[in-house]
Structure 1
Amino acid sequence: MPNIYDFSAETITGEQQPLSAFKGQAMLIVNVASACGLTPHYEGLQSLYSEYKDQGFTVLGFPCNQFGAQEPGSHEEIKSFCETKFGVSFPMFAKIDVNGDQAHPLYKFLKNEKKGNEGDDIEWNFAKFLINKEGEVVERFHPKVEPKDIKPSINSLL
């Protein structure tokens, strides 16, 4: 049976990153976009990362352009936007699809592990998956759930 550590993804700077590099850490995996009404979630995600990174927690951001074409930029543009506008320092990955036939294998796995309110598919930008330190998907949060509201769940894993 596959687990989160069986997957790898291309980083926003073009290297392959096995998720096994995050073994032993709790993770929040989020599909992100730069031109969305929920884009301010970046600030909350960075805040969570800053607060908990020394306790074995990380945020992994996966840009996606499938929802209203709200992530049209190049990897370099996305990286610059996130760092400049929101001070993002958590790991960012290359743009991927999260739904459909071309969905990244990681997202096929995540959606299979935790269904959303509307079934398998990711509802919109900023859907959030919480992974425990053993690599198990423990919760899925609707895109509109504010990052600060996930703190109790993160605390329970650390």
Structure 2
Amino acid sequence: MSSIYDFTPDSLAGSPQPLADYRGQVLLVVNVASKCGFTPQYAGLQALYERFRDRGFAVLGFPCNQFGSQEPGDAAEIAGFCSTGYGVGFPMFAKIDVNGDGAHPLYQFLKKAEPGILGTEAIKWNFTKFLIDREGQVIERFAPTTSPEDIAGRIEQLL
């Protein structure tokens, strides 16, 4: 695999969603959760999406229940929470694992392409963010504590 365009995860609705459909866009890939201290970042992610989407930008949300069981819901519950709680309009995908033997191949790729602090690959918590350029290459990894607003300048540079 040479770019994120090689992956086809399932959408939150359960159908295959080729990431090649996002070819040529700047992307922010985020593992999300509904019951996390960082959950209010949904608002900031949506704001980034609204601000830059007309220029070729998308946020891709991947629910994950591996950190403190903070995403316990099924697809319908996740969709409802995101829609009513935060007005999320960016693409959401099926719940996945981001660490361990069952980690989704996309996340295996992302972690190898852009390791975390001291070269560790493991995702440490919900709302870890990966910035992808228009060629599908991982440019930068951001910690859960990095607010979406703090990434706006980097997105602007890539657009």
Counterpart CA distance in 2 for 1:43 and 1:116 is 25
Partner of 1:98: 98
Partner of 1:25: 25
Q: Does 1:141 align with 2:142?
A: yes
Counterpart CA distance in 2 for 1:117 and 1:75 is 32
Q: Can you list the C-alpha shifts for 1:38-92, whole angstroms capped at 9, x where unaligned?
A: 0000000000000000000000000000000000001000000000000000000
Question: 2:108 is matched by which residue type in structure 1?
Answer: K
Q: Can you list the C-alpha shifts for 1:4-33, whole angstroms capped at 9, x where unaligned?
A: 110010000011000000000000000000
Q: How many residues align?
A: 158
The runs of 4+ residues in structure 1 deviating greater than 4 Å are none
3-state SS of paired residue (2:9): strand
**1:2 Cα deviation after fit:** 2.1
3-state SS of paired residue (2:103): coil
3-state SS of paired residue (2:156): helix
Partner of 1:120: 121
Counterpart CA distance in 1 for 2:40 and 2:48 is 13
Counterpart CA distance in 2 for 1:133 and 1:101 is 29
Partner of 1:89: 89
Counterpart CA distance in 1 for 2:49 and 2:2 is 26
3-state SS of paired residue (1:59): strand
Percent of pairs identical after alignment?
59
Aligned residues: CA RMSD? 0.7
Q: Structure 1 residues 1-10 or 51-60, which shifts more?
A: 1-10
**1:117 Cα deviation after fit:** 1.4
- The runs of 5 or more residues in structure 2 that have no matched partner are none
**1:1-158 equivalences in 2 (<5 Å):** 1-117=1-117, 119-158=120-159
Question: 1:80 is matched by which residue type in structure 2?
Answer: G
Q: Can you list the C-alpha shifts for 1:112-132, whole angstroms capped at 9, x where unaligned?
A: 000011610001000000000
3-state SS of paired residue (1:10): coil
* TM-score (ref. length: structure 2): 0.98
* TM-score (ref. length: structure 1): 0.99
- The runs of 5 or more residues in structure 1 that have no matched partner are none
3-state SS of paired residue (2:117): coil
